[in-house]
Structure 1
Amino acid sequence: MGVRVGADVGGTFTKAVAIDSITGELAGRAVVPTTHDHRDGVSAGVVDVVAKLVAEVGAETIELVTHSTTQAVNALLEGDTVPVGVLGLARAPYLRKARNRTTISRAIAHEFLDLSAGFNAVAARQALARLVEAGAQAVCVAEAFAPDDSACEDAVAVLAAELGLPVTTSSGLTGLYGLELRTVTAALNASILPIALRTAEVVEAGVAAAGLTCPVMVMRGDGGATDLAGFRAAPARTLYSGPAASVAGALRTLRIGDGVIVEVGGTSTNVAAITAGRPALSYVRVAGQATAVRALDVQVAGVAGGSMLRVRRRRIYGVGPRSAHIAGLTYSCFLAPERLAGGRPETLAPRPGDPADYLVLRLVDGTMAALTNTCAANALGLIPDGDYAAGHRRSAIVALDIAGAAVRLSGSELARRMMQASTEALADLVTAVAAQHRLTQPTLIAVGGGASVLGRPLAGILGLDCQIPPGAEVISSMGDALSLVRAERERTVSRPTPADVDALIAEVEAEALAAGASPTSLQVQVSQIGDRGAIRAVAVGALVLGSGVVPGRPPLSREAIIDVARAAGGSEQVDPVGRFWLSSLDGRVLLFDRFGDPTLDVRGEAILVDGSPGEAPLQASIGSAVSRHVRNVGPIKIQPTTWVVQDGRIRELADPDAIADTVGAGAAAVIVGNA
């Protein structure tokens, strides 16, 4: 048996699972408290849970370890970053503008080189030395128009490496124009390079110490995975990898159309939208500044299963954001009722700097117990038997009866009001997320250890259907274990030619293959970024394991795809197009991948091309289709979007005239319309 291990670092616990690479069944699980205060940080917990699974399933069976990490986002939130120096580069006539746009507040020092007479290695080395003298411990290199030619940025990076300086080039993270945007993004990445290097070393050494020789991957914030080399170079891409792992796990476990995933942990709750089966991504903002890094569009609330009750002037003030785990306290509902007898309510500040309004129980033996949402839900009988969050209901009732005296309420009324305050706070967030993504009646998918605590009550007040998948408490770890390699590149090109698109595809395919993706599993989708005058290419593929297995769900049969298409409102007539399936009905075109996941939903029409000699001229067919789907808005004509689907690639093209050249020889589909 070969297994894949997934480990997720949560605010309260670090959990890991082992999943059979062929059957997808759970083969083992482990959990430890998240190691916030360990000298190796939360990475120590990852090493611990992996070691526990090695003891359970055997080192020889483990073929892959993937973990999602909070190190990048924690470093930014807690200021665990290093001072960054920026070296700006440009040629005349852009010198003044480039100097201004590379002088950013995030940098401790700034140097600038004029490249009008060519690149001068001596001057670059001297500039780097001055940055170090000014206190820089990492360097960002940003040149005007570097996406067109990164040779000078790359040359500076080599010099920085010779000096032992961690370095990020602006074109290494994005191919978008916008010098300030690229500078901010590269500086952000450079500031967390040292902690990323330490994290990679700790995890790599810990995995090796456990007797494993398998690949180690890291979940990215966009829901894909990268190898440790990719993590060392671009840790910023792992921002929000924890929420991304939970969404990936839910999507691999359930078939979701429009939904809102609510991951209820012990410390916080993450909310993310799923539109037509696909997670919403957005550009990450840090301290109010936009970056060129895309990640899951997630909203976070400081209320969860372990959130503690707060009171002021003998009235309920709220629940959270401090959780019992961070406070170092046990949930009252997980203690025996006898331990709680004789306890008395008391307020305190759980951590230095917290307000002293968190209500706890001081027990007869001198210890303290927390009053949490999980306690309230257990007291109200909301938690099913055998659920991960199930505690002693009698203990929860006793604890809340004692606490109720402090706010002049019965224990049951106190529990009800705690749940009301928490679900109302989350309801506002879920409503806002649904409205932002134009979801009118989404399914609420509750995951995480506190899924049963707040998931169903939240869905109830919103009037939404609620699903809690099997293994909801370890869904993030499952998402890690089942993750796919993902690579993404963006490039500013106002009117991309087929050659531009092919070059970008080649870049993302090479990156995905370098990370270990199977060539036969790769799918590439190219789309236009209209507001940026750019194109984006995303490559996704399964990792080849040591056994030769390419894990993941088996491709669906034609009959199963027909069922999926029918359920999505498509036709029973489905056509294979490369690694995809196409279904058209009444002016609607649906495109599914081999596993039945939706990739396109277009109002328009599809033209199937089989490459036969007697086929009608493609350009004429495309021209007719385009003319049928032109929209007139006043005096303005709006052209439809066109996609070419061929082999494992989906190309979105702005210029219909380029489609015939893009298709070339072989079977394909051209889709014309509006998504």
Structure 2
Amino acid sequence: MTEQMQQRRIRVGIDVGGTFTHAVALDVATFELISTVKVPTTHTDKRGVAGGIVESIFKLLEEGSINPSEIVLIAHSTTQATNALLEGDVAMVGIVGMGAGLGKGRARAQTRVGNIELAPGRFLHTLHEFLDTSAGLTDARIAGVVDSLVSRGAQVIVASEAFSVEKDAHEKMVAAHCRERQIPVTSGCEISQLYGLRARTRTAVINASMMPKMLETANMTEQSVREAGITAPLMIMRSDGGIMDIEQMRRRPILTMLSGPAAGVAAALMYARITDGIMLEVGGTSTDISAIRNGKSLVKSATVGGHRLYVRTLDVRTLGVAGGSLPRTNGANVVDTGPRSAHIANVHYSAFNTPATSPVKASHFCPKEGDPSDYIRLDADGREPFSVTPTCASNLLGLVPAGDTAEGNLESVQQAFAALAQFMGRNDPKAVATDMLDKGTRNVVQVVRHMIEDYELDDQLLTLTGGGGGAAAIVPFAAQKMGLPCEITKNAAVISAIGVALALVRDTIEKTVISPTEHDVLSIRKDAEEAVLRMGATPDSIEVQIEIDAQKNILRATATGTTELRTRELGKAHLEETELTERVRQTIRGVTGEVTPVARVGGLTVFHAETQRKRLGGLMRSTVSQYRVIDPEGIIRLQIRQGDCLPGTKSEVIGGMKEFFDKHTIYGDAGREFPDLFVIFRGRILDMSGLMNIDQINSLIQVELSTVGNDEPIAAILKTY
């Protein structure tokens, strides 16, 4: 082999946390970790968090013996946007509002958004000027209002005009004027194509307020990476679970608002390959909880200060309980577990201590000023203070898998819980540990149940998946309480950095469209595809999902793609059909008959099985057809608990689509209720569940399957209700 043929292709993922920055180097061909490093997050460095990012890259190169030419992509998450909002560390924004004719009075009022509360007592301050555009704009008029705003303290400008989603020329004129003068600027039409001038302006203002600091960090990071001889694309984690190039981040830093928690979800999708489940990323102090359905993360509109923004973020719910949470007790009762953690309280985990050689004594203490004084602390001669945590409790109860990051010294844990039980006047240390975990996971279970309800998830298909160093401390016990299966991801401690490394290039375009036509659907699909192409996605890797929100008149296209051809499948062993069948059987609860393949499409196999559904307390039963789509490696790609499948050639399936669709369409008081549709072709799954009629479906199928021959096998699967 030549040296070129042997050269590795490596993705680098960097997760910037509040305390530590984790980095991983991942082989694109095998998904195997080449190297992992951890450095302190450099909040006080003159380069900001960019200092830690750059340090982690250099350590990876050294420890992994990596040549810069082997790196094909570097991506990092960031807490900077979130921290800026929480701490009020944002720039003053000058707003150039614009409007014309009879609507200019309303435009003036709606672009004057005032000071926006970011957190209690912390505000984003704005200034406002207005231009009447009835007779057009001149550069002199633009210069006048920009000069006024800058002289009053504005550090960045927002251009926002009524109806700019249709006519954006004036906003672009203001933006061009500012860029020529090297004044940071955002225009409303750059941020959103949705109607709603006030919300569009507010979103642009928050985006603009982050720009100076984010630009500084982006420039420092890029400069350092290039000086290291790395020419690979530099990407930033988005808050919707994708990545974007650094140029997009310079224009739309608001899209990184929740990029830290998003990294764990990206790992759940791309590394753990979860199809339907709840992801719990457990650290030492907090747990981030998110949901995945049909192999996609669930997103919502972001809010700041109680105001809705035109930005989509992952629905991540954070709780103040994790692997290092400390217990609170009152007499023989465990009052609560957390929110104060061992790390913040400056005490050690008993699980990570060696056994004490002198008696261990428990007592109450107040970790920080203002905390309750009933937290538990343990002492032994010659030892720094330590305590018990959910990590310790899970070790005592045998819930931590062998070799897991959370695995500790069992003898030390037994000593600690014996001392705590004695302090509480109880005889059974394991019962105390159980009470600790019961209190600690109480809110976790509640949030998981709320997410199942909010998104109408099918708990018969769900798995609780744990990531983060503290996953084994929380997830197994919570799963037991809920009667759900669970798993801890491989390399859980660095799962977020892995997620950053593997995340797909992503962009979402939203437009306000009433009753979208076929042309509207195809047009927005093309726009989304071109957006990720510009960021470096390879054409063959791009997938676009279309959603129609009929209630809000929103047409949405989300495009994803990767920056290089992935060859992971070439290096992985394919399972035999008997093994695939057994893997599918394990995912279907209560299967009553055979599990049989009904279609084979480009490496994917569609399996069918029947189960019984009980109603009225078991008095009535009905047969349900379940479907699973599985890939050659045994990864479940789609789960349908009740549905129907139409396999055949492309021409056969498209020809029978209308009849197949109509057969399962329900007519109710609110009109037609359309079943969710998935089309399987060439190893891909096209999710068409967001479309509303057969004409839209047929138009999109023609585009997506344009290169598929009429005699090639495909399959359509409907999720019925």
- TM value normalised by structure 2: 0.80
Correspondence for 1:487 among 500, 507, 512: 507
The code of the aligned residue for 2:245 comes to: D
145, 167, 171: which is aligned to 1:127?
A: 145
- 2: CA distance, partners of 1:376 / 1:262: 18
2:621 matched residue in structure 1: none
Partner of 1:195: 213
Q: Residues 302 and 653 from structure 1, CA distance in 2 versus in 1: closer, same or farther, beyond 3 angstroms?
A: closer
Give the superposition deviation at 1:450.
Answer: 0.8
Identity of aligned residues (%): 35
Structure 1 equivalent of residue 10 of structure 2: 3
Mapped to 2, the partners of 1:213 and 1:529 lie a distance apart of 41
Compute the displacement of 1:496 (Å). 2.9
Q: Contact 1:263/1:271 (CA < 8 Å) preserved in 2?
A: yes
Residue 76 of structure 1: how far off its partner (Å):
1.5
Segments of 5+ residues of structure 1 without an aligned counterpart are none
How far apart are residue 242 of structure 1 and its match?
2.5
1:431 Cα shift? 1.6
Range with greater deviation from structure 2 (229-238 or 602-611)? 602-611
* Gap change, CA 1:321 and 1:210, over 3 Å in 2: farther
- Matching of residues 182-581 of structure 1 within 5 Å: 182-208=200-226, 210-310=228-328, 316-338=334-356, 345=363, 347-350=365-368, 358-361=375-378, 367-369=384-386, 371-401=388-418, 407-408=424-425, 414-439=432-457, 440-441=459-460, 442-544=462-564, 549-550=565-566, 553=569, 572-574=597-599
Q: Within 5 A, what are the aligned runs for 1:631-642? A: 631-634=666-669, 636=671
Deviation at 1:478, TM superposition (A): 1.5
How far the C-alpha of 1:449 sits from its partner, in A, is 0.6
Indicate yes or no: 2:174 matched with 1:153. Answer: no
**Aligned mates of 1:555, 1:90 — CA distance in 2:** 59
CA gap of 1:499–1:364, structure 2 versus 1, over 3 A, is same
Q: 1:636 to 1:310 in 2, by over 3 A?
A: closer
**Could you say which residue in structure 1 is the equivalent of 2:72?**
63
Q: Do the aligned partners of 1:340 and 1:398 also contact (CA within 8 Å) in 2?
A: no
Q: 1:341 to 1:79 in 2, by over 3 A?
A: farther
Q: Which amino acid aligns with 1:217?
A: M
1:45 alignment partner AA: G
Q: Does 1:90 align with 2:90?
A: no
Whether the 8 Å contact between 1:336 and 1:395 is mirrored in structure 2 is yes
2:186 pairs with 1:179: no
Q: How far 1:127 moved relative to its partner?
A: 1.9
Q: Give the residue type in structure 2 aligned to 1:495.
A: S
Cα 1:600/1:339, change in 2 over 3 Å: same
| Structure 1 stretch displaced more, 479-488 or 57-66 | 57-66
Distance 1:617 1:20, change over 3 A: closer
Q: 1:599 to 1:535 in 2, by over 3 A?
A: farther
Q: Which amino acid aligns with 1:100?
A: A
Residue by residue, what CA displacement relative to the aligned partner does 1:489-542 show, whole Å, maximum 9, x if unpaired? 111121333433333223222221221111121112222122221211111111
- Aligned partners of 1:34, 1:616: CA distance in 2, in Å? 54
Q: Could you tell me how far apart the structure 2 residues matched to 1:591 and 1:220 are?
A: 29
Q: Which amino acid is 2:57 matched to?
A: V
- 2: CA distance, partners of 1:635 / 1:309: 51
Q: 2:301–2:308: 8 Å Cα contact kept in structure 1?
A: yes
CA distance in 1, matches of 2:78, 2:253: 10
Report matched runs for 1:584-599 at 5 Å. Answer: 597-598=637-638
Is the Cα–Cα contact under 8 Å of residues 679 and 717 in structure 2 kept in the other structure?
A: no
Moved more, 639-648 or 80-89: 639-648
Contact 1:270–1:298 (CA under 8 A) maintained in structure 2: yes
Q: Which residue of 1 aligns with 2:613?
A: none
Whether contact under 8 Å (1:15, 1:474) holds in the other structure is yes
Q: Distance in 1 between matches of 2:515 and 2:293?
A: 28
Quote the offset at 1:304 in angstroms: 0.5
Q: Structure 1 length normalisation: TM-score?
A: 0.85
Conservation of the 8 A alpha-carbon contact between 1:641 and 1:654:
no
Q: Which residue of 2 aligns with 1:73?
A: 82
1:22 alignment partner in structure 2: 29
> Aligned-pair distance for 1:287?
2.2
Equivalent-residue separation in structure 2 for 1:160 and 1:403 (angstroms) = 64
* CA–CA distance in structure 2, aligned partners of residues 398 and 670 of structure 1: 59
Deviations 1:471-494 (A, max 9, x none): 122221211111211121111121
Alpha-carbon distance between aligned partners in 2 of 1:18 and 1:617, rounded to the nearest angstrom: 44
Question: Structure 1 residues 635 and 75 mapped into 2: Cα distance closer, same or farther (>3 Å)?
Answer: closer
Secondary structure of 1:183 counterpart: helix
- 2:362 and 2:600 mapped to 1: Cα distance? 69
- For 2:94, the aligned partner's letter is G
Do residues 47 (structure 1) and 54 (structure 2) align? Answer: yes
Residue pair 1:17, 1:481 contacting (<8 A) in 2 also: yes
Contact 2:387-2:416 at 8 Å conserved across structures: no
Post-superposition shift, 1:643?
A: 8.7
The change in CA–CA distance for 1:644 and 1:427 in structure 2 (over 3 A counts) is: closer
Moved more, 160-169 or 181-190: 160-169
Partner of 1:32: 39
Name whichever of 482-491 and 125-134 sits farther off: 125-134
**1:228, distance to aligned residue in structure 2 (A):** 1.3
Letter in 1 for 2:295: G
In the alignment of these two chains, the number of paired residues is 664
Deviates more, 1:396-405 or 1:463-472: 396-405
Change (3 A) 1:657 1:437: closer
Per mean C-alpha deviation after superposition, the further-off stretch among 95-104 and 412-421 is: 412-421
Q: Is the 8 A contact 1:249 1:476 kept in 2?
A: yes
> Which letter does structure 2 place at the counterpart of 1:389?
A
Residue 521 of structure 2 contacts residue 696 of structure 2 at CA under 8 Å; is this kept in 1?
Answer: no
Retained in 1: the 8 A contact 2:282–2:468?
yes
How far off its partner does 1:587 sit? Answer: 9.3
CA RMSD of aligned residues (A): 4.0
Instruction: Please give the alpha-carbon distance, in whole angstroms, between the structure 2 residues aligned to 1:395 and 1:133.
Output: 64
> Do the aligned partners of 2:362 and 2:423 also contact (CA within 8 Å) in 1?
no
* C-alpha separation in 2, matches of 1:655 and 1:599: 23
| Secondary structure, aligned partner of 1:165 | coil
CA distance in 2, matches of 1:596, 1:633: 33
Contact persistence 2:504–2:562 (CA under 8 A): yes
In 2, distance between residues paired with 1:71 and 1:330? 29
Give the counterpart letter for 1:249 in structure 2. A
In 2, the alpha carbon distance for the partners of 1:119 and 1:419 equals 65
Deviation (angstroms), 1:158? 1.7
Note if contact 1:630-1:639 (Cα within 8 Å) is conserved in structure 2: yes
